[in-house]
Structure 1
Amino acid sequence: MAARAHSDGDGRVERGNQTRRLILRRSVDTASVEGLGGLSLGRLATELQLSKSGVFALFGSKVDLQVATVRAAVAIYVEHVVAPALRLPPGLGRLWTACTSWLRYSRDRVFPGGCFFYAVSAEYDTREGPVHDAVATARSDWTRFLEETAREAQRTGELREDVDVGQLVFEMIAFMELANAESVMHRDDTYYDRAAKGITARVRASAVDPARLPEPALS
């Protein structure tokens, strides 16, 4: 009896985890288009044909749902953008791959509204509270990752020592986010090719050996 009760308990936990993942996948997609403010526990329950009480049991409040949505988006972002770069050794190749993986992630609409974090940043940039903090932390972590990746390239001798890493990363992010914004607005993917060319030119100008970077192709 004890073993059966334990098994039943494990089954309930797993079903709860599956439901949570289902809800968060819908919530990140919705927020990328409509913003985090457009989320509600009742709406998600209706759309996914779940009991409202069950959804409320998983997320105690709208703020809890919004913060969990940001964290779920971070996990998806890491899978599609950060992980491909980390498969390469430190150096210019890793830095370039981080940027081109970001452009593919936005172009391929991993989130229907383009980059999730670009979409929700303007919504929460002037606010205070846990949702703002979660979004700000995610953006800061991405910037720090690129900066550390660039510094690794300096340590490997592939990026010039006199390069202002903060400025380089700022410019690369500007290329990426402008491509995202223009593509979403105009339904035109050619902006990603423009961004790839701009990033590649900027990194080549900072490289010890510019020939080490491939041609800026996203296919």
Structure 2
Amino acid sequence: MGKGDATREAILEEAGHLARQVGLAGLTIGSLATRTGMSKSGLFAHFGSKESLQLDVLDHATERFTAEVVRPALTAPRGEPRVRALFDRWLAWDSTEGGCPLAAAAFELDDQPGPVRERLVHDQRAWFDTLATMATICVAEGHFRSDIDPRQFAQDVEGLMLSFHVASRLLTDPDAAARAHRGLDALLAAAAAR
């Protein structure tokens, strides 16, 4: 990685931290300049606009999510163990300082038309596809019933994750993770092959 790429990566890391505090709408080149000690013109040279900065922050968060949650979970055995590994890694990801920026963005951008929302919708559809594919693999491995609806399973898992996000982040419920795990256990039991 060259110096320019390393600088850009460091800026995006800091922008991600800032977005976790103020949301994507609150993330501006000016606020990032203040946070990084860089000039607005220097940051503008990297991103060009607030929208470009927000898109790059979303891309960066998605790349980190894939690297820290999805790829490591894929090393678990196929089927139900992989679903559990993915769920556990997602809970750990959301439990870090500031929570999951992608979950926060889903709430923030749900009614905000434009390219930033469109990018998030694209990424969320890919995430749902990943979850649905895992359900299909669970059927193939004999862990789930053959009549399970993979898209419904994906939505149910996402619902558990978003519920955990609200319970742990907003409500500061100390039992949020235990409740999320019990919810996953119930979902997996309902899907289990007889």
Moved segments of 4+, more than 3 Å: none
Do the aligned partners of 1:31 and 1:120 also contact (CA within 8 Å) in 2?
Answer: no
Match of 2:63 in 1: 75
Query: Aligned AA for 1:134?
Result: R
Partner Cα separation in structure 1 for residue 91 and residue 35 of structure 2: 30
Match of 2:182?
197
Give the alignment's Cα RMSD to 1 decimal. 1.6
Percent of matched pairs sharing the same residue: 32
Q: Deviation string for 1:104-144 (max 9, x for gaps)?
A: 2112x1xx321211211122112222101111112111111
Deviations 1:36-76 (A, max 9, x none): 01111122122211232221111011110000000000011
- Does residue 160 of structure 1 match 2:148? no
Distance between the aligned counterparts of 2:175 and 2:66, measured in 1? 24
Supply the AA of the counterpart residue of 1:124: L
AA of the residue aligned to 2:148: V
The structural deviation recorded for 1:35 is 0.9
Tell me which residue corresponds to 1:57.
Answer: 45
**Who wins on radius of gyration, i.e. which is larger?**
1
- State the number of aligned residues: 194
Give the alignment's TM-score, normalised by structure 1: 0.83
| Counterpart contact for 1:28–1:73, Cα < 8 Å | yes
Q: How do residues 123-134 of structure 1 correspond to structure 2 at under 5 angstroms?
A: 123-134=108-119
Q: Give the corresponding residue for 2:12.
A: 24
| Separation in structure 1 between the aligned mates of residue 174 and residue 85 of structure 2, nearest angstrom | 19
In the alignment, structure 1 residue 115 sits paired with structure 2 residue 79: no
Does 2:44 correspond to 1:44?
no
Mapped contact 2:18–2:32 kept (Cα < 8 A):
no
Moved more, 168-177 or 144-153: 168-177
Stretches of structure 2 that go unaligned for 5 or more consecutive residues are none
CA contact (8 A) 1:35 1:123 kept: yes
Q: Determine helix, strand or coil for the equivalent of 1:35.
A: helix
Alignment of 1:96 with 2:81, yes or no, is: no
Q: What is residue 146 of structure 1 aligned with on the other side?
A: 131
